[in-house]
Chains A and B, each alone.
Chain A
Amino acid sequence: AQTVTQSQPEMSVQEAETVTLSCTYDTSESNYYLFWYKQPPSRQMILVIRQEAYKQQNATENRFSVNFQKAAKSFSLKISDSQLGDTAMYFCALCPVIQGAQKLVFGQGTRLTINP
């Protein structure tokens, strides 16, 4: 079975601060992808960043970066220089690479508020 756990239901920081969202996962598959999705009040699910398990280098996308610890099965998201527009629900998701399958398993989500 595949599981994803986000242990921080809510977080709040001041604008321009750096914030880290935690995610742990469990899978028996050796190859998989990990994602962070953002869901602003508009409800749209927006892909923030993607990490391939076989790549040791941590993925980065502008102000967003991840700390991927494969042995610990940890996949945290760091947002630098946070902006008001970063206020949203953030979901961590796991996609094991199993032949014929491409199913996402989501964590419970972390509600992030950026205060002015």
Chain B
Amino acid sequence: DADVTQTPRNRITKTGKRIMLECSQTKGHDRMYWYRQDPGLGLRLIYYSFDVKDINKGEISDGYSVSRQAQAKFSLSLESAIPNQTALYFCATSDRGQGNNEQYFGPGTRLTVT
């Protein structure tokens, strides 16, 4: 089984709809992240969480919200989706105790907003 899973893998939604992307991990890591990938821009950080009670905005948090339901679960919500939120979304995890700062990525969610 994959260590970091994301659901759904693909989603098409309409402008104005609320949508939630979910991330779960079995690695036991304390830190979790949400990134979006756009062509020509690489990956950009949306939100990150260092533990259940510590959530922080990243570079591009406008239009997004998150919830850390448990150490293993970190959800990303788009309250009212708009077409420029069409992108590939990645969840990642890392371990504070692991000194190499490596992050482990989920398989990604392709979101299309029409």
Contacts and interface: CB of A to CB of B under 8 A. Distances in A.
A15 interface: no
B69 interface: no
Contacts of A102: 31, 94, 96, 101, 103
Contacts of A50: 100, 102
B74 interface: no
Contact of A104 (B45, B50, B108, B110): B45
Given A50-B102, A95-B101, A100-B50, A44 B108 contact: yes
Interface residues of B toward A: which range?
20 to 34
Among B43, B92, B96: residue with most chain A CB under 10 A: B43
Contact of A52 (B43, B100, B108): B100
Interface in B32-81: 33, 35, 40-45, 48, 50, 58
A5 to B, nearest CB: 10
A9 B101 contact: no
- A interface secondary structure, majority: loop
A64 interface: no
A6 B78 CA distance: 30
Contacts of B103: 102, 104
Contacts of B90: 45
Interface in A51-108: 52, 91, 93, 95, 97, 100, 102-108
Interface string B81-114: 0000000101010101000111101011010000
A47 B93 CA distance: 13
B61 to A, nearest CB: 13
Contact of B43 (A9, A91, A95): A91
A42 B105 CA distance: 13
Given A43-B108, A44-B108, A45-B90, A108 B42 contact: yes
Contact of A43 (B31, B45, B58, B107): B107
Contacts of A104: 33, 35, 43, 45, 92, 103
A6 B107 CA distance: 23
